[in-house]
Amino acid sequence: MEDRSKKTDSIRTRIVRTVFLGLLFGMISAIAFYGTGLAIRSFPVASSPAEEYDSEPANIPSLWKGNYTVAEVAKMALPCVVAITSVSIQEIPDFYTFGFSFGYRDYASTGSGSGIIVGENERELFIATNYHVIEDASSLHVCFIGDDVAAAEKTAAQAVNGVVDQELEGIVTATVKGTDPENDLAVLAVKKEEIPVETRQEIQVAVIGNSDEMVVGEQVVAIGNALGYGQTVTSGWVSALDRSVSFPNGMGEGLIQTDTAINPGNSGGALLNMRGEVIGINSAKYASSSVEGTGFAIPISRAVPILEELMERKTRERIEDKSRQGYLGVFPADISREVSFFYGISEGALVRGVEEGSPAEQAGLCGGDIIIELDGQKINSRKDLTDRLEYYEAGEKVKIRIYRFYQGRYRDGYIEALLGNRPAKEEKTA
């Protein structure tokens, strides 16, 4: 009996000891977890990329190398993309009953495109876009984030008819800073003083990425003024790289191919990676009833050196005083597409004749020459030449690129002309 009693006491002792140790371990664990919670609240850890962006929307975190969602990329990039409305005025022959032309009649039309804010200085914002967006435009209107693009279209239509509605705000006039037609690139300049203060606080310069790092299958986001409705966001994937494609307005080489929806009005807009960096300038959609989801963009790494050179050019405004406008002294005419194709030359302004003693004659221009560039700006027609000269003052030197027929074929070359003062007499000269 005595041994059994001792055994019972021993078992009870072990049970009590086990329960005590369990309670003690539980108390220590609870204190440890509580202390850890206090430490975390006292010393906050770094926020996630999305939280970081929400607190500082002006910049993309430079150390973050991961990916955002499409919504986050859109939120970051929308302030960098603009809608562009262009007004083009074309001269068409004014035909009568017997088919004879007795002059020209102006025909005005509007177009839609997009642009990316890529730089600034103290006075101006610089906007990159496609050359074909602003080609032949007599005036350009820019809408920033939050502005009513439909109002810009209305403003443009009123401008064509000589009516200005002062109640429409937020629509800013842009000036062509420089163009590179061969690469389908252009830079516009907008005066900061003309941008409403509240708009200036919202917009920002785009973050430029490295398109050389893109891989097939990578997700991308496109933002642009699709169909002229305003900023639109679409997403897709990189379908192919380094594509060469033939378009009606020329050959595109080294392009990024994507299945992201690229529609009319998207041209000049941004193609972004999932870090919110611009890696391409949307250029064209392959349009065909048998083709679906095939768009193209100019790689930003190829475009940046060209855009930087264009941004360095002098911003020119139209000189309203005709007595101060530069004068060349040529009688220009149009080159038709048929003649251009047949002779294998660019469209331009045909020199029908040169005024005696004019700057053109002194520079060596001759009848039969075709002017295709003026100061680096492409000349497609007689009107192009006369319009561009309105931005230069008498006394300025300009570099002119021409085609001249020599030894059975057209050869290109350059001449320099010192612009003179426009004579008082009214003649069809430029």
Band (53; pLDDT cuts 50, 70, 90):
very low
Average pLDDT over every residue of 367-381 = 85
CATH architecture label of 322-421: Roll (2.30)
Higher pLDDT, 117 or 248: 117
Q: What average pLDDT does the chain have?
A: 77
Closest among 336, 362, 338 to 348, alpha carbons compared: 336
pLDDT in tens, 76-97: 999 999 999 887 766 666 554 4
User: Fold match between 77-202 and 211-304?
Assistant: yes
Are the CB atoms for 284 and 244 separated by under 8 Å?
no
Half-sphere exposure of 132 (CA within 13 A, CB side): 19
- Please report the pLDDT score of residue 407 as a whole number: 78
- Name residue 8's amino acid: T
Coil, strand or helix at 410: strand
Average pLDDT over every residue of 9-26 = 62
Average pLDDT over every residue of 55-67 = 45
Catalytic hit among 86, 112, 114, 132: 132
Catalytic hit among 139, 235, 239, 267: 267
Average pLDDT over every residue of 34-42 = 50
Percent of the chain with pLDDT over 70: 68
Are the CB atoms for 258 and 297 separated by under 8 Å?
yes
Options 3.40.50.300, 2.40.30.10, 2.40.10.10, 2.60.120.10; CATH of 211-304: 2.40.10.10
Q: Which two tokens stand for residue 156?
A: 């443009």
Higher pLDDT, 60 or 316: 316
pLDDT in tens, 230-281: 788 999 999 999 888 776 556 678 899 998 888 888 889 999 999 999 999 9
Catalytic hit among 147, 180, 184, 387: 184
Check whether 167 has a pLDDT greater than 70: no
Check if 10 is active-site: no
Closest among 323, 319, 287 to 389, alpha carbons compared: 319
Higher pLDDT, 358 or 285: 358
- Give residue for tokens 């009693």: 5
Neighbours of 314 (CB within 10 A): 9
Sequence ranges of the domains in the chain: 77-202, 211-304, 322-421
- Please report the pLDDT score of residue 347 as a whole number: 76
Check if 109 is active-site: no
Element (H, E) at 36: helix 2-42
How buried is 337 (Cβ within 10 angstroms: 0-12 exposed, 13-18 middle, 19+ buried)? exposed
Coil, strand or helix at 415: strand
Options 3.40.50.970, 3.40.1360.10, 2.40.10.10, 3.30.70.520; CATH of 77-202: 2.40.10.10
DSSP state at residue 393: B
- Please report the pLDDT score of residue 235 as a whole number: 93
Check if 340 is active-site: no
Check whether 45 has a pLDDT greater than 80: no
